[in-house]
Amino acid sequence: MTTQQVADAPVNPDTVSEPAETDLVPDKAVTLVQRVLMPRPADPLKVRSLYLDEENAPIRVRQDGRHSGLIAAGSEVSFATYFNAFPASYWRRWSVLGSVVLRVTVSGTCRVDVHRSKADGESMHVTGVSHQGDEQTIELELDLAPFIDGGWYWFDVTAESDTVVREAGWYAPQAPAEEPRLAVGICTYNRPVDALAAARALADDPAVLERLALVTIADQGNNHVRDAAGYTEVKAALGDRLRVVEQPNLGGSGGFARTIHEAFTRSDATHVVLLDDDIMIEPDSLLRARAFAAYAKNPILVGGQMLALQNRSVLHSMGEIVDRETFFWTNAPNTEYHHDFGKESLRESPDLHRRIDVDYNGWWMCLIPRTVVDAIGMPLPVFIKWDDAEYGLRAFAAGFPTASLPGTAIWHLSWGDKDDASDWQAYYHIRNRLVAAALHSPHRHGGKLFREMLKADLRFLINLQYSTVELHHLAYRDFLAGPESLFRDMPQSVVRAREVRATHADGQVLPSSSDLPLPSMPTAKAVRFRRIPVNPLSIGKTLVSALVHNARPVAPENLDTPQLNLAFQDARWFLLSRLDSATVGTADGRGVTFRRRDPATFRRLVTTSAQLLRRMSQEFPDLQRRYQAAAGELTSMDRWGEAFEEWGYQRV
């Protein structure tokens, strides 16, 4: 048995190292920070691309569990993949580590080569180790110094004979100052099976289970977790670490607030990880977030990135920021939206190698240290939407950054498959955006916020979505009323929002367009209507004609008979704005809404929007003072505790 290895000093990744032969005595790896994972046996080929790059492997890797795999003779397999490459630039920026150790156990005749990338995606060979014979453990210590702007480490295995790779991982060469004690908080509303599936995934991984101090499920529906199939098994696996709290529907804000409250008032946890219920999780993500927090230079929020649940090889969200001019969330600079690893590997994707700095991370998965909660308090009582973004902004202002860590992720339904900005949730999108802006906008009169809201209202109106704008007006008035009612109105706010949405036809979902008469517009004319205006002149002319059309009376025959049946993706402003009526499919494909033009409603709503938005802009300095003065109470651990008592709850 022979193995070639580098000397004891960390490998300089800026040079190509051809190691000298030496007796291998693994002793550098101290604490595991990222396990190398094999795909699940049932994973399709596209999903395998998140774990293995098998482009040069005539025979796919045959895995034995999640941590061992057989590479056939004559194959080269790369671990330059989303879940197995090491995001070196993030550890370089935020952690105390100066190096990382690759530890891998191999048997057979093979070569292990380490590569790294730069921020522009260019890759280079760093060092390599040849091995033949019986099983042996290889350790390579690698320098993190050159990764300030971006870059990953990964390794490839070239098999001359059948080669087994097992228990590979990336290690810290030193122990952390403190071992974090993890609490997990899952918020659910009538998704008990999904919530239990997330909890079961954690309990089924021994390494994760060992590090869990508490798992709290905030059960806010009437289809209870304790009554769902599988509850007994999850309870048996987690034992006293599982805590189910049944409470009224308080949305994500109230559900996650409950899990934070339980973690930091009723356990000795040092960190809480918030998880959505409707997710699929890679359990190692919890260990990676925990390790990152353990080695952070200062307390930091660690977010998981979002993979698309309905297309699992797609990285949907890499990181997000809040534009302070418009006060709206958007993708962080240098991100690649909706990247499909099944089509382009990590090595083929230069846009995935820069470090991405963010303002916040969505609470589909986010680790929050107790230190941060002690310093800045709890989430705002805003039911849903903007609670995570506002918390990230508040934490940043207090000196606690957020990192959206690559390779730490969940699968979640992407917002491209939703339309929650125009359904009943539109109320929360707008009201909570205004509240967050009052707390954090640097602009005395809101910058471009109110101008953008007026444009959005106009866009919804010419799209015949009157219920959405009606909800916006409710949000405007509630924001103007001040912060005093946020706690008081929280449990009933969703009922009120649903009632307002149902007052217009576009807010009422029908099972199918077949419930209405056949569309009246001839196909040839419909084709002309669907032409997309592409230059400024045609866009301007279309917009003017749309506004003129919305002032004209509606043809009586179009009130009960739709002119067109439109798919959700075809319901564009330049088309709907020139119609009297149309059915439009819902984003989830389960129904349709019947949108009908109403000139009187259009005039009323556009006038009200202009008046309310002008008033908010004028009063914004005073509103900022009021909301900022109330922030301490709104985010107080004690005030949340009092609210939970008022609303009632039951621990299971």
Residues with active-site annotation: 388
211, with CB counted inside 10 A (0-12, 13-18, 19+), is middle
Query: Which DSSP symbol is given to 86?
Result: B
Query: Which DSSP symbol is given to 71?
Result: E
- Cα distances from 345 to residues 52, 64, 309, 339, 388, in angstroms, run 10, 24, 19, 10, 31
Q: Give CA–CA dist 274/296, Å, rounded.
A: 19
> Which one-letter amino acid corresponds to residue 441?
S
Q: Greatest CA span in the chain, whole angstroms?
A: 90
Q: Give CA–CA dist 255/188, Å, rounded.
A: 7
Residue 36, φ and ψ in degrees, nearest 5: -85, 130
In this structure, are strands 182-188 and 271-276 parallel, antiparallel, or unpaired? Answer: parallel
> Which one-letter amino acid corresponds to residue 272?
V
Contact present, 423 and 501 (Cβ < 8 Å):
yes
Q: Give CA–CA dist 359/327, Å, rounded.
A: 12
Structure tokens at 145: 């110094």
Q: Give CA–CA dist 403/196, Å, rounded.
A: 27
Structure tokens at 414: 């992407």
Contact present, 640 and 257 (Cβ < 8 Å):
yes
In this structure, are strands 301-308 and 68-71 parallel, antiparallel, or unpaired? Answer: unpaired
Tell which residue, 581, 351, 552, has the closest CA to residue 463. Answer: 581
Three-state secondary structure call for residue 89:
helix
- CB contact set of 563 (below 8 Å; sequence gap of 6+): 519, 520, 521, 579, 580, 581, 582
Structure tokens at 104: 């891998």
Tell which residue, 412, 202, 371, has the closest CA to residue 272. Answer: 371
What string of H, E and C letters represents the secondary structure of 447-483? CCHHHHHHHHHHHHHHCCCHHHHHHHHHHHHHHHHCH
Q: How far out from the chain centre does Cα 604 lie?
A: 37
Structure tokens at 504: 């217009």
Q: Give CA–CA dist 115/13, Å, rounded.
A: 8
Residue 648, φ and ψ in degrees, nearest 5: 85, 150
In this structure, are strands 581-585 and 182-188 parallel, antiparallel, or unpaired? Answer: unpaired
Structure tokens at 7: 């000397």
User: 354-384: buried (b, 16+ CB within 10 Å) or exposed (e) per residue?
Assistant: bbbbbbbbbbbbbbbbbebbeebbbbbbbbb
Residues forming a β-bridge with 35: 169
